[in-house]
Structure 1
């Protein structure tokens, strides 16, 4: 899409609007930072760090499954007010070890600064890759909308990990396209800190037959898992299996995922896993055959699919940054699809209840709105996957 500012009045209006958005974005950033640093803030970081600290000396998964509370072993742990919930695999917890050696208030501050840096880096790299050659005002407007969103603010305030995952994913994509395979693999290993989203985006590398970064990333996590299992005297496979059991016990259904929807509708227990496997198979098919009508569209479709195949809360919807940029890029080619993506961004970034789950929606007075959001989401996902198979005229493929 080419935006023309020939009309000075429209150009001035757009610049004025962008300045207003930037001011609101500054307020949003300040609120997000405050939420992260208050005593009850950075909850997700707190439970992960306490689990990571326990992993340095014992098996936190077995302790959790047995119902035995762990006693803090250091002043750093005692300052952290949250209970350990080891829902991540051992290698992901090990990626957080550098932060676990800091006192809790400093760990919160360090992770907040990291999230701000990940935000800036993600935006710069995503703009360069998915929306190149646009005026700076366009970049400023999109970046302002991103950090203004309730999704971004809630994620930062909770100390979540997806900003790190998306930043390192885009770094890995850039490095892989430059044939820097080892560095791409290391970046991808870091991205798998948030493997519940990033794993479902890996078919993008498979599509382009970039096997080495994926192999290196999984190899790195395998080595880390083997090392900590050896230190703890545990079987590495059992250790990973226990982590998945803890995650399954604590997180059954979220916001728009298939488990939330189908269980909420009273479907048989097997319906959600079967539907998730079918969706995953359909999402994988273009990558397996090595052909997609449009690679950017395919990645956008994977972003939508990644949030509904397994449990996810609304803060994970910042992954819609990639589809949003693709939609802006394709506005002249496919206005209907772009408009649907814009609506999804509006509803998932600004018009949702941050703590809402499917059950909470149904218990309130907003079930009709929730069902409209879910319908819009799955219709858009279906269109993206369909257009990954069918080439449209004038579509430009992302260079490899």
Structure 2
């Protein structure tokens, strides 16, 4: 006997009873981000693999281990998008957005894909809410991005939130620091985990993220990038902090903060929630002033963030949007009943109709379960409109039902 079909491990189905909460996230995002001048953008679910291999970084876990990559019928290597920034930067240049007043402010919401170990609120297919602000290197842009994510998180009622803040400097700054860090790791190579040893030259900063006890001890004495920023980098970081202080945004400076993507420069940040346990990340991001050049595009500054929708819902208050009110339930299965439902919908009413062949008694029970304000009961010779709140009934011509419900809704 064959097994029943199931969703792939690490993916999930969004059931009808879960949709309202997810819609609430979208409504909050649209209100907060739209109010700040951000416009929604959507990129394809799959892109050429090179976009992510170059943009995210060949040495990252995302590219080396986590991408879903396939060859299409034309022999091209394609990848399900693991993140949103590189595709948005591509779209920005491809569609001439650099000709618009800068910075261009965009937000997005959709599914992303990574082959990583499934955990609570972390799936192989997951939804992200994100923003990208492209075309300005002003520290105020960094501070606004951070403030907007904090506002979204607060509006969703996420508990135990902490903001970690750091700076990676410019690529030149980081290149000099990287040599210092590599030398430190080489001096303690036999104490490191096998994974960290294998990537000392590829991605030494990832050692700060290691859980391996020996590696963690080595990193306690490692040189810190914040101590090696150029004056320009340090001034930029100070300006970001000054604006966050003015907006009364609490943060912790974390000199060991790193993220698993190579394109970040200067400002880096992450919001965590104590409600999520060890895997506490809710959302974060940073500045990526060198990304466009890595992709072969003209130099363009930018900053952005992404927050996991499943993580937000897991750590936040459950405040779903109320379901649409049922104005009229049409209890009848004939052509006249169907015509009335169509007329009522054209008039702007929320209408449900009998579709399961229930008895008259069953139809009235279903109308009550639906929370209908009115029920139109079709009989052999007449149509009765029942007010479900007062229980009052009146006999009407079918052509008068819609006007009567509209009048009653207006009075109510």
TM-score bucket of the superposed structures, by smaller chain: under 0.3
Q: Going by fraction, where is helix more abundant, 1 or 2?
A: 1
| TM-score, normalised with respect to structure 2 | 0.24
| TM-score, normalised with respect to structure 1 | 0.25
Q: Going by fraction, where is strand more abundant, 1 or 2?
A: 2
Bigger Rg, which one: 2
